[in-house]
Structure 1
């Protein structure tokens, strides 16, 4: 594979990353080619040593998604990290994706239930004293506050579980599929200096 073919395939695989990030990555790989050519290697040898550009692009996009999750910890970053890891194609999607979708669906259902419980509690707290709630107005207010507090607790607990789920998926990918930094950073060899007597 020539340098131009490698870079074109790499650029194609990096579509979706921010432009500056993609340009920096391409510049790094251009430098790899320049260094290899300066060392007397052919473009084909350098390309073979760097590996499949499409796989490199998937790994780099996955790493970008994982780094974004590590920095932001929001639903958008979580989705980006999950889809980036699944996009590697390294995880058996036929097994993992249905399991993941079931867990995500269950968590989403519980989130909706917590939101509904919060609004029901608010409705009981506000309307209960005026509609003859059993136990009187104070019982209605306390019952409404209790339901709202329970909903907030369930929502917080589900948020923690969701963060653990995303972190677990990232951990699984890093553990099982040479992700990512160790595979992308060049190995450094300690320099040997001779001591003169």
Structure 2
């Protein structure tokens, strides 16, 4: 290869570099070739000693990328140096593939850690605000309506009102004050109490309260008030039954393992029925109101309104997916720890890459500065 062909191909391969830098490199090589020819070496010998202009251009571009990275140590400039080194075949493909997988996993860990940290923080703030101020509300209520008409639905509403009136009227005879049943049966109503000591019958006839107990032990469980009421501790009564003169019927039974939960049932003479289940703290767990073919059922976060062939299902669900404040804080802490670990790994990776680049550039510089190469 002649000198002009060598210089032309070298300039062509260096076209990605700034023109001033290319002109300086070409001038250095022209000077080197001129000095070698003046020393008595043949043109062919000098060009052959310089090697392939394509490979030489790659080594020179790697050096240029390295100098640019030294001036501005950014990840982008470091990536350009690594790509230049890889183009020389100095980066083993057996090492490159695992390294790319490692970078992909590190990027995924960054994304997951940031998502956990931000999500946990938002959830913790939202749950804390919800418990302290009642905002935001996390309850979304999806409603599913299956309807063949509206007449039955209106009937169901009327039935629920009637049943509620019946329940309220019957509960007036039985009140709960803390852990005590306060009994005030109305005229003509009969009240039965089951206790562990025996049964008790209470009624009011002609304005006079009558009490019939199976034994003195059962009678001793009753507490008579000055206002004409009779009380009994909830723990002593296993069940209550009230029969009204209008044909309605109400029962109250203890339930649950500890016997502190209760089930209220009210039936009217015309077939209406109400069932209310309460937990040990007196909070409603479920409510069912039935009147013929119409019904309203509320159980936990679900409710159903039935009127003949019409049915409305309502399900209340938490938009936070049941996340507790502790879970939100744990999510946030896990995200922060993961993010710190990713930053530590990034610093280690950066330092390892810098050391690798230094070693490879030193090898390239040694070849370029050796006899028979350019003295750059």
- Normalization by structure 2: what TM-score? 0.42
Distance in 2, Cα, partners of 1:135 & 1:171? 50
1:29 aligns with 2:29: yes
Give the distance between the partners of 1:108 and 1:102, measured in 2 at CA.
10
Contact 1:14 1:22 in 2 (8 A): yes
1: distance between equivalents of 2:340 and 2:86?
Answer: 31
Secondary structure in 2 aligned to 1:161? helix
Contact 2:110/2:339 (CA < 8 Å) preserved in 1?
no
Tell me how far 1:2 sits from its aligned partner: 0.8
Instruction: Give the distance between the partners of 1:42 and 1:86, measured in 2 at CA.
Output: 34
Q: How far apart are residue 186 of structure 1 and its match?
A: 5.1
Partner of 2:349: 162
Structure 2 CA distance for aligned equivalents of residues 135 and 91 of structure 1: 49
Deviation at 1:50, TM superposition (A): 1.6
In structure 1, the gaps of 5 or more residues are 188-197
For 2:38, the equivalent position in structure 1 comes to 38
Structure 2 unmatched ranges of 5 or more: 132-322, 372-376
The answer (yes or no) to whether the contact 1:114–1:154 under 8 Å persists in 2 is no
Offset of residue 144 of structure 1 = 7.8
How far 1:158 moved relative to its partner? 3.3
Q: CA RMSD in A?
A: 3.0
Distance in 2 (alpha carbons) for counterparts of 1:40 and 1:87: 35
Aligned partner of 2:264 in structure 1 is none
Do 1:124 and 1:143's aligned partners in 2 also have CA atoms closer than 8 Å? no
Aligned to 1:180: 364
Residues 91 and 173 in structure 1, CA contact (< 8 A), matched pair in contact too: no
Q: Is the 8 A contact 2:120 2:332 kept in 1?
A: yes
Counterparts of 1:109 and 1:119, CA distance in 2: 15
Question: 2: distance between equivalents of 1:135 and 1:126?
Answer: 9
Question: Cα 1:127–1:18, aligned 2, differ >3 Å: closer, same or farther?
Answer: farther
Please say which structure displays the higher CA radius of gyration. 2
Structure (1/2) with the larger strand percentage: 2
Would you say the 8 A contact 2:117–2:333 is kept in 1? no
* Paired residues, number: 180
User: Of Structure 1 and Structure 2, which has the larger fraction of its residues in helix?
Assistant: 1
Please say which of residues 163-172 and 31-40 is displaced more in the overlay. Answer: 163-172
Shift of 1:53: 1.3
